Amino acid sequence: MSRFRNLGVYAGVAAAIVLLFFVPTISGGSTFILFTATSIFFYINLCQTFRFINLTSDWSFAHVTVMGMGAYASALLAIKAGWPFLACFFTASLVSVAICLPIYALSFKTKGETFFWLTWAIGEVIRQVWIRFKNPFGGDAGLGNIPKIVISLPGLRVEFLSQVPYYYMGLVLTVVTNAFLYAVEKSRIGLNFKVIASNSDLASSLGINVFRHRMLAVVIASFFVGFNGSFYAHWIGFLSPRDYGLSFLLLTLLYVIVGGRQTIWGAVMGVTAFYLLNLQLKPFQQYILAVYGGVLILVLAFFSDGLEGLVKLVASLFKRVFGRKRVATEGLPLNRR
């Protein structure tokens, strides 16, 4: 039965992706809609990788900096060395992995609030390096004039001149990232992750190497978030060290918390819901931070499962009202069920 239900979910997701491929046509190439959609893709990737680290360990506040490292690497290689985009793109992700290894190898000695403070402190040191060293990082003013994406393969040259190709690239990146993370989460390794998250001492007594699994999780997350950072750098064309302070971090936390952390759908719902909310809040931009803060407090206080929990609640209510009443028949003899 559950296999069939999963089949339905897969079919639904496939249909949604196919539908997303036609968004540029449906929207008539509207730059605003496509830009918003691409932003949603970017944040979904960021939140999804953040949540992936969260599967095995506490909250890592260095994750945003790891993404920034990829973004800066990609931008600098393109500006200073004139590398083609694809080379920058893959190098960025390798740089992110390379920078995440020492950070987390040091940080996993600790846990709880010490862990997030240690990761935050290391991230902040890196961010200060970007601010302090004007050459090559561009200093406080940021790094501008990052070349737009040009994909040149033998016999094929694609220049990203409008918002449409960026939309497609973001979509492909999101699908690949999410599919891979989902596959890992559902595999045996993902099961090990869950054991570690619920009780790391028990996990290591079962023969699961906790440190290695945690490192594996952050390496996978950093690998994908490096792609995301590189994509962001070339899409926006500008990097500011200010963004990598609290700004991205707050948004990531907000989306993940509002969406929910139990399943892979939480981040997707959180980001999408907030972007829709944001469109309604256009006149109140001045108070937007207070709104975010209020939402954060209310969700954590009254509904810590987030939107995901809401969907689950509605589904269970639906089932209770309209579903077949199986519980009531359980104690009856077979012929009367």
Partner 1 sequence: MGAQILQVIVNGVLLSLLYVLLSSGLTMIYGVMRILNWAHGSLVMLGAFLVYFVFAKHDINYVAGLIVAIIGMAALGVIVERLIFKPKRNAVLTAFIMSMGVLYILEVVAEVAFGTQSRFVPPIIPGFIKVGGVLMGSNRLILIPIALALALAYWAFLERTKWGRAIRATSQNKIGAGLAGVNIEWMAVLAMATGCGLAGAAGALMAPTIGITPFIDTSLSWKAFIIVFIGGRLSLIGTVLGAFLVGFTESIVTAYWGPEWVIMMEMAILALVLFFRPGGLLGVEVKED
Residue from 121, 179, 206, 279 touching partner 1 (CB under 8 A): that is 121
Query: Which span sits near partner 1 by CB under 8 A: 36-44, 127-135, 195-203, 262-270?
Result: 127-135
State CA 277 to chain mean position distance. 19
Could you give the 3-state DSSP secondary structure of residue 32? helix
The DSSP output letter for 247 is I
Angle between helices 265-280 and 306-322 (to 10 degrees): 100
The secondary structure of 290-334, three-state, reads HHHHHHHHHHHHHCCCHHHHHHHHHHHHHHHHHCCCCHHHCCCCH
Q: Closer to partner 1 by CB, 46 or 77: give it.
A: 46
User: Is residue 128 involved in binding partner 1 (CB under 8 A)?
Assistant: yes
Query: Which span sits near partner 1 by CB under 8 A: 73-81, 105-113, 157-165, 320-328?
Result: 105-113
Q: 236-255: which residues touch partner 1 (CB under 8 A)?
A: 246, 250, 253
Q: Closer to partner 1 by CB, 131 or 171: give it.
A: 131
User: Is residue 116 involved in binding partner 1 (CB under 8 A)?
Assistant: yes
User: Is residue 198 involved in binding partner 1 (CB under 8 A)?
Assistant: no
DSSP string covering 62-96, please? THHHHHHHHHHHHHHHHHHS---HHHHHHHHHHHH
User: Is residue 102 involved in binding partner 1 (CB under 8 A)?
Assistant: no
Q: Closer to partner 1 by CB, 96 or 252: give it.
A: 252
Look at residues 244, 242, 238 and name the one whose alpha carbon lies nearest to residue 144. 238
Residue 325: φ, ψ to 5°: -85, 95
Q: Closer to partner 1 by CB, 165 or 245: give it.
A: 245
Residue from 34, 41, 56, 58 touching partner 1 (CB under 8 A): that is 58
Q: Which helix (H) or strand (E) segment is 6 a member of?
A: helix 2-21
The distance of closest approach from Cβ of residue 273 to partner 1 in the complex, given in angstroms and rounded to an integer, is 17
Residue from 40, 46, 75, 118 touching partner 1 (CB under 8 A): that is 118
How many of the other CB atoms lie within 10 Å of CB of 106?
12
The distance of closest approach from Cβ of residue 257 to partner 1 in the complex, given in angstroms and rounded to an integer, is 7
Q: How far apart are CA 88 and CA 224, in angstroms?
A: 14
How many of the other CB atoms lie within 10 Å of CB of 226?
30
The distance of closest approach from Cβ of residue 118 to partner 1 in the complex, given in angstroms and rounded to an integer, is 4
User: Is residue 117 involved in binding partner 1 (CB under 8 A)?
Assistant: yes
User: Is residue 337 involved in binding partner 1 (CB under 8 A)?
Assistant: no
Tell me the per-residue interface mask from 265 to 294 with partner 1, x by CB under 8 A, - otherwise.
---------------------xx-xx-xxx
- Considering CB under 8 A, how many residues would be counted as binding partner 1? 36
Look at residues 46, 41, 43 and name the one whose alpha carbon lies nearest to residue 64. 46
User: Is residue 134 involved in binding partner 1 (CB under 8 A)?
Assistant: no
Burial class (CB in 10 A: 0-12, 13-18, 19+), 11: exposed
Note the residues at the interface with partner 1 (CB under 8 A): 58-59, 106, 109-110, 112-114, 116-118, 121-122, 124-125, 128-129, 131-132, 246, 250, 253, 257, 286-287, 289-290, 292-297, 300-301, 304
